Amino acid sequence: MPITIDDIRTARALLRGIIIDTPLLPDERLSQELNASVWIKAECTQRSGSFKIRGAYTMIRRLPPEARKRGVIAPSAGNHAQGVALAARLTGLPATIVMPERAPLTKIMATQRLGADVILHGATFDDAQQYARRLEAERGMVYVPAFDHEDVITGQGTLGLEIAESLPDLGLVIVPIGGGGLISGIALAVKALLPRARIVGVQAAGCAPVPRSLAAGHPVAVAHAHTIADGIAVKRPGELTLSIIRQLVDDVVTVDDDAIARAIAHAVQYDHLVVEGAGAAGLAALLSGQVTPRPGETVCVPLCGGNIDSNLLTRVLEQVAVRQGRYLLLKSTLEDRPGNLAPLLTRVAESGANVIDIFHRRAVWLAPLDRVGIELVLEVRDEQHGQQVVQHLLDCGYHVEREGVGSWPE
């Protein structure tokens, strides 16, 4: 193995005073539900909002003087961008970042505020990566890879060092995988210190090349990347990272976007942390049952990024509230006469529900010409209360259809 635990310790010394030793917090709710001791590593509170500063700074800090004069360039879906931009600012180097055209505006603006020149190119991280390589050759800048480099992996490994030293009885670590840099570094550190601990990787189902690559014995690209977890939407893992995953990672699972959305909401509701889709993938694997801890096992889940667009976060929380039965989406029709809406709203108030939105629908529903379609968005206490609200309206003579029936526990 080209990277050792001593290399990771050296990187930690290099990062001292640069990064935050992020909090390790118990997730009491999950611990109780899973009969395990579940700990959250809140890397979403790290400088630049993710773990990426660890690897970026480690590599940039080690550049020879001649290379430093040329400046750095990097491709990124967002988090690596901010890590490189911050590392470059701290070391006094100019930085250019190539990001996909649909990168979240939050991440684009944050990267620019850190002083980097941002270029938008292509639909995916892989498109941005190809263009960054072209600019590297044209402009003579130093390319800072997002994951497939020993210095980058060594820097990311400092997160694993913190976890292993804080949880000496650790039995399981669940780590999101994009290109594989984070899980490679964590696996190197954890397996060196706690060789019996299991390492499980998690990919978004909409972009999961690692299982295929492991089966093929070499990196294999997937054709498309469709997921809200943009930070791990990497269509092809690295050569170096895949070899480390093959040797040290015990299993790799996938989670869909619904599970990721539920994990984002769980982090907000119960861990009091704002986490992006990629950062919540490990939590999603636990919540969806893709990974099951052993009874009493100590589990750590790094929430490795918190750079989520506020509009997306709002949509996620609303959708999860519907799935959990906290929001009701109801359809009904009323005779289209003045005053007919008020009695319906009175019946809603009697049931203890709160009206969030109300919409009149006429032509769109193709309702009879003497009736109007009504859509109600109601806030309720829980799924049981929601069922009581629906039953009360039915008992009052209203024909009510419910959309998005709750299917998730709170």
Dump pLDDT digits (tens) for 272-290. Answer: 999 999 999 999 999 999 9
Statement to judge: residues 86 and 175 lie in one domain: no
Q: What percent of the chain has pLDDT over 70?
A: 96
Statement to judge: residues 178 and 220 lie in one domain: yes
Strands (E) located in 156-286 = 170-176, 198-204, 251-255
Q: Which string of DSSP letters, residue by residue, matches 258-269?
A: HHHHHHHHHIII
> In the chain, how many domains are there?
3
Statement to judge: residues 37 and 67 lie in one domain: no
Domain boundary among the residues 319, 349, 367 is at 319
10 falls within a domain: yes
Residue 369 is part of a domain; what is its CATH number? 3.30.70.260
Residue 405 confidence (pLDDT) above 70: no
115 falls within a domain: yes
Statement to judge: residues 249 and 228 lie in one domain: yes
Distance CA 275, CA 44 (A): 6
Statement to judge: residues 190 and 309 lie in one domain: yes
The order of strands in the sheet holding 72-75 is: 117-120, 95-99, 72-75, 142-143
CB atoms within 10 A of CB 405: 14
Query: What mean pLDDT is reported for the chain?
Result: 92
Residue 365's pLDDT band, with cuts at 50, 70 and 90, is low
Per-residue pLDDT tens over the stretch 193-220: 999 999 999 999 999 999 999 999 999 9
Residue 345 confidence (pLDDT) above 60: yes
Distance CA 366, CA 238 (A): 54
Residue with tokens 């769109």: 364
Residue 102 confidence (pLDDT) above 90: no
pLDDT in the model for residue 327: 87
Domain boundary among the residues 319, 353, 380 is at 319
Given CA atoms 354, 259, 200, 163 in this order, what sign does their dihedral have?
Answer: negative
Do the Cβ atoms of 75 and 131 come closer than 8 Å?
yes
395 falls within a domain: yes
Q: Which residues contact 11 (CB under 8 A, 6 or more apart)?
A: 54, 58, 151, 154, 155, 157, 158
Statement to judge: residues 280 and 308 lie in one domain: yes
Tokens of 181: 């840099």
Q: Which residues contact 73 (CB under 8 A, 6 or more apart)?
A: 95, 96, 97, 98, 132, 135, 136, 139, 141, 142, 143, 144
Distance CA 188, CA 216 (A): 23
Statement to judge: residues 198 and 299 lie in one domain: yes
Statement to judge: residues 298 and 334 lie in one domain: no
Statement to judge: residues 205 and 306 lie in one domain: yes
Tell how many helices (H) and how many strands (E) occur in the chain: 16, 14
Distance CA 126, CA 294 (A): 37
Residue 362's pLDDT band, with cuts at 50, 70 and 90, is low
Statement to judge: residues 184 and 284 lie in one domain: yes
* pTM (predicted TM-score): 0.88
Residue 98 is part of a domain; what is its CATH number? 3.40.50.1100
Do the Cβ atoms of 190 and 220 come closer than 8 Å?
no
408 falls within a domain: no
Domain boundary among the residues 284, 299, 319 is at 319
- Output 104 or 27, whichever has higher pLDDT: 27
178 falls within a domain: yes
3-class SS letters over 88-123: HHHHCCCEEEEECCCCCHHHHHHHHHCCCEEEECCC
Of 104, 92, 28, 43, the closest CA to residue 63 belongs to 92
Residue 188 confidence (pLDDT) above 90: yes
410 falls within a domain: no
Statement to judge: residues 167 and 264 lie in one domain: yes
Statement to judge: residues 92 and 197 lie in one domain: no
386 falls within a domain: yes
Q: Which string of DSSP letters, residue by residue, matches 339-368?
A: TSHHHHHHHHHHTT-EEEEEEEESGGGT--
124 falls within a domain: yes
Residue 367 confidence (pLDDT) above 70: no
pLDDT in the model for residue 107: 83
Question: Average pLDDT of 53-61?
Answer: 97
Question: Average pLDDT of 315-332?
Answer: 87
pLDDT in the model for residue 406: 55
Element (H, E) at 331: strand 327-335
* Domain region containing 172: 5-50+150-319
Phi, psi of 373 (to 5 degrees): -80, 140
Residue 408 confidence (pLDDT) above 70: no
